[in-house]
Structure 1
Amino acid sequence: MSQLSLIARARKDFHKRLLASILQIDDSGVPGNADRSSASSCNIASGIAQKLLAENGVRTVAQTSGNKFEEVVALFISNTFPNLSNLRPGTWDVRQIKSRGGSEISKYSQYEHLAALTEAAKGNLELSAALGNDYTITPDVVITRQPETDAVINSIGHIVDSEVALRSDLRDRSLGRPPLLHASISTKWTLRSDRAQNARSEALNLIRNRKGRQPHIVVVTGEPTPSRLASLALGTGDIDCVYHFALHELIETVSELSDSPGTKISDSDDLLRIMVEGKRLKDISDLPLDLAV
């Protein structure tokens, strides 16, 4: 048997951590990512859980589930993306953002100007009302890249000097330039209509308020229901792509249920195919390589 690749091992570890925490089946047979009021959600979630060998456990509350999912996603990316230095060289940092104060985004090069807006709005109610909260963006997980010193840039030849490339965000001439936001990752253990719209609103704010290169803007979710996935995945322009925590198992489960008499998910198979073939829904294992683009 051939040895598993790095990403294949990381995917297995990713699922193990979820199975040990939030992806468990409660006493009534409902997995932790299912909507117990929806039969199709429970059926699909159960199929995925069984394929991932879920054990019985205590169903966690939504907030705890969300925080744990962020943590496990951040760890998966930390264990994969930095290993792609042959494809995407740089000094990288992957972090789960635990603070929800709204000022996190201004720590990064493309958004540092937002700190001045926040400060100005504090003492001016009129300005605060006019600005609203369009500039208040707090990603769940971020990937940042440190700017490079001249020594690194010139390590293979005389690339820059004191006369050129003085304003590039990648060049850290003063040894104090803030990191560049490479990716903003929104994690949604489950999707309801309001959660889908929150992800879209945050993505649009990241696009509109940046100065410089747009970061990757993606969503990672454990939502089992194709119709709810479609509410976020279909369409283009705001989110790069939606990544499912177990897309292979989801496709297999939906296919099996579609062939079973008495199940009401006949449209789910086609809907999944549209999202996957349209490059709007991918597996978590696709994310590290996509981040290297």
Structure 2
Amino acid sequence: MGNPHHHHHHHATADHDGSGMAELLDLDAEVLHAHLAEVTDLIAGLAADSPPRTILDLGSGTGTGVLTLLARFGEAEGIALDQDEHMLRRLTDRARALGLDRRVRTVQADLDTAWPSVGAVDLVWASASMHHMADPGRVLADVHAALRPGGLLAVLEMDSLPMPRFLPDDQGVGRPGLEARCHALLAEMRAEHMPLLGSDWGAPLAEAGFTVETERNFAIDLRPPLPAATGRYALATLRRVRSGVENLLDADDLAALDVLLDGDGPECVLRRTDLTVRTTRTVWLARRP
């Protein structure tokens, strides 16, 4: 995912905090890297005749998309666009650590205000950012104009809930169904504040003049043994869930959630061996004719 989340106003909920969100994005990339590799494989297949030389990441967050693509396409240069200065600084640090800093530049911009002058590009990556645009049709038209003929746009989105599920249904904390109830509350809030989350982007892409080459659904269901970062990913995610629903949960559910988040406790997600990672992502790969 990922997520996702980057112009990240897509994750700019009331509890937005730059460093917490940045950590979550990095953990998402670490745990869901296999899904990311599959998506870049699809892009490489479609771009086999003319690999991209200039890649634009819309809502880059901490840079997972653009840095993965620069590693895949060794001749390319990247432009990372986000409205969050903290995210872009973190991206620059990551790029330097990977030896990619000379191949990527950052642009701080709010796409709801105006399209920035980024020049012509060959590939645009938009991961979990489109559903937050005030006018996605205009942004897609701007992307179409910025792409060279034959260029590709990758839109990656999650379903109606942007956060994975980690816990078995019985939870083990005396509150069966706790995670499902938290997610149901979040879904109600997202439906009001992010109505485009979970949308089908096929029709808007066609209306903007794109040809949709591939639409692929990924049902991610990771089982033990899991990547080392999974416990931290679950902790960071559930902390964010808690801050979103704490005023809506009953006292017993909130207490059970706090047991899962207690870093010193035996039931903390950092210590559990029964975690899984379950989420759904969809990718649309579209070409400017």
Higher RCO (CA 8 Å, separation ≥ 6 residues): 2
Q: Give the TM-score normalised by the residue count of structure 2.
A: 0.29
Q: Which has the higher strand share?
A: 2
Q: Give the TM-score normalised by the residue count of structure 1.
A: 0.29
